[in-house]
């Protein structure tokens, strides 16, 4: 099948790899976002999908807008039978959706219709879910509203971070895409309409979403920390210092005499225990502003916290 792949971040690379390994797929080219400045030095860097495409010798296009006439003309010349879109980063125009006779399909990081939107993996952990998954679907004019093809469930471990779950879901998505492509080739791919009344949404995250509110329960705060690790990270304030917190563990500790956000106990071998609105939380890793991520024990050597000190929840 003559196929164009559209994707940009690491999550999409596993799907591109899966297509590359399908003997019946002829990859005509890859469409990805333009190179952008990234990191502290704002060095221009290519999207991960571009890096892999160049490694396997696949042509790459990087339009600022996929709706641009010159890009659309190029796609018409290629005449793909199938277009695969995975975390591309731009809205796909109707003219492109209608171009391939076998349709435009997508790999989405949730069990649709739950968690439509840009941050489904983060939100599943933040919400305390124990099961999530990936869905392949036909794209339509809406956001993640098209007919579903196949699904695959994944369990979320109690200590799972969005980083580890992201990597597992990327692999699962690649495998599910290969299975989906096989169904399309064989003419037996299902089309299952989504129940829009059951839809939930996972909007794009930003750094402000990581502010910890200590009046929430230890479980809720622990989910937030795991759901934002490694990015954009959950954070709090100790005096004027911003601290990013990682590796939480909900523990059974008497906190009745401590206000929310107070340090209940310090264990230089394990970390420090913080009181919350319900229960307490052991924090095992910390990243002070401008510093590298470190164990809580290493942090305590340079930042002498004391029992009764209090973290603050305030808008930066």
Whether residues 91 and 9 share a domain: the answer is yes
Model pLDDT for residues 78-136, shown as the tens digit of each residue: 999 999 999 998 999 999 999 999 999 999 999 999 999 999 999 999 999 999 999 99
Model pLDDT for residues 196-235, shown as the tens digit of each residue: 999 999 999 999 999 999 999 999 999 999 999 999 999 9
Residue 253 pLDDT exceeds 80: no
Q: What is the DSSP string of the chain?
A: -EEEEEE-SHHHHHHHHHHHT-TT-EEEEEE-PPPEEETTTTEEE--HHHHHHHHTT--EE--S-TTSHHHHHHHHHH--SEEEEES-SSPPPHHHHTSSTT-EEEEESSSTTTTBSS-HHHHHHHTT-SEEEEEEEE--SSSS-SPEEEEEEEE--TT--HHHHHHHHHHHHHHHHHHHHHHHHHT----B---GGG--B-PPP-GGGGB--TTSBHHHHHHHHHHTTTTT-EEEEETTEEEEEEEEEEE----TTS-TTBEEEEETTTEEEEE-SBSEEEEEEEEETTS--EEHHHHHHHS---TT-B-B----
**Cα Rg, the chain, nearest whole Å:** 23
Whether residues 166 and 242 share a domain: the answer is no
Residue 4 pLDDT exceeds 90: yes
Q: Which of residues 157, 177, 198 is at a domain's end?
A: 198
Residue 309 belongs to a domain: no
Domain, as residue range, for 80: 2-198
Whether residues 291 and 183 share a domain: the answer is no
pTM (2 d.p.): 0.95
Q: Are 96 and 66 in contact (CB under 8 A)?
A: yes
pLDDT at 315: 64
Residue 157 belongs to a domain: yes
| Domains contained in the chain, number | 2
CATH number of the domain at 243, please.
3.10.25.10
CATH number of the domain at 130, please.
3.40.50.170
Confidence of residue 252 (pLDDT cuts 50, 70, 90): confident
pLDDT at 304: 85
Residue 316 pLDDT exceeds 80: no
Q: Are 211 and 316 in contact (CB under 8 A)?
A: yes
pLDDT at 254: 75
Whether residues 218 and 186 share a domain: the answer is no
Q: Which two tokens stand for residue 94?
A: 């109707």
Model pLDDT for residues 155-182, shown as the tens digit of each residue: 999 999 999 999 999 999 999 999 999 9
Model pLDDT for residues 6-41, shown as the tens digit of each residue: 999 999 999 999 999 999 999 999 999 999 998 777
Confidence of residue 191 (pLDDT cuts 50, 70, 90): very high
Residue 311 belongs to a domain: no
Whether residues 170 and 21 share a domain: the answer is yes
Whether residues 154 and 238 share a domain: the answer is no
Residue 316 belongs to a domain: no
pLDDT at 246: 98
Residue 268 pLDDT exceeds 90: no
Whether residues 62 and 139 share a domain: the answer is yes
What is the average pLDDT across 49-78? Answer: 96
Residue 308 belongs to a domain: no
Q: Are 255 and 280 in contact (CB under 8 A)?
A: yes
Share of the chain above pLDDT 90, in %: 91
């Amino acid at each position: 099948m003559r196929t164009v792949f559209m994707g940009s971040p690491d999550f999409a690379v596993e799907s591109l790899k899966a297509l590359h390994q399908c003997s019946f797929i002829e990859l005509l080219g890859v469409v990805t976002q333009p190179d952008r400045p990234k990191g502290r030095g704002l060095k221009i860097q290519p999207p991960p999908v571009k890096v892999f495409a160049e490694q396997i010798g696949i042509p790459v296009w990087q339009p600022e807008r996929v709706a641009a006439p010159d890009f659309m003309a190029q796609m018409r010349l290629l005449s793909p039978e199938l277009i695969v879109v995975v975390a591309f980063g731009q809205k796909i125009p109707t003219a492109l959706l209608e171009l391939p006779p076998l349709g435009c399909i997508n790999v989405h990081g949730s069990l649709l219709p739950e968690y439509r939107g840009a941050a489904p993996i983060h939100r599943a952990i933040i919400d305390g879910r124990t099961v999530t998954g990936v869905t392949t679907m036909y794209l339509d004019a809406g956001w993640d509203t098209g007919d579903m093809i196949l699904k695959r469930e994944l369990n979320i471990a109690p200590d799972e971070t969005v980083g580890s779950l992201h990597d597992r879901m990327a692999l699962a998505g690649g495998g599910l895409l290969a299975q989906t492509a096989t169904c399309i080739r064989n003419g037996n791919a299902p089309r299952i309409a989504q129940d829009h009344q059951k839809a939930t949404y996972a909007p794009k995250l930003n750094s402000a979403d990581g502010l910890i509110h200590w009046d929430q329960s230890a479980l809720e705060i622990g989910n937030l920390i795991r759901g934002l690790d490694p990015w954009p990270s959950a954070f709090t304030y100790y005096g004027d210092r911003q601290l990013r917190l990682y590796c939480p563990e909900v523990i059974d500790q008497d906190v009745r005499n401590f206000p929310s956000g107070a340090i209940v106990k310090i264990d230089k071998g394990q970390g420090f225990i913080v009181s919350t609105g319900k229960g307490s939380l052991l924090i095992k890793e910390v990243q002070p502003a401008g510093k590298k991520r470190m164990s809580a024990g290493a942090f305590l050597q340079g930042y002498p916290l004391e029992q009764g000190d209090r973290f603050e929840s305030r808008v930066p």
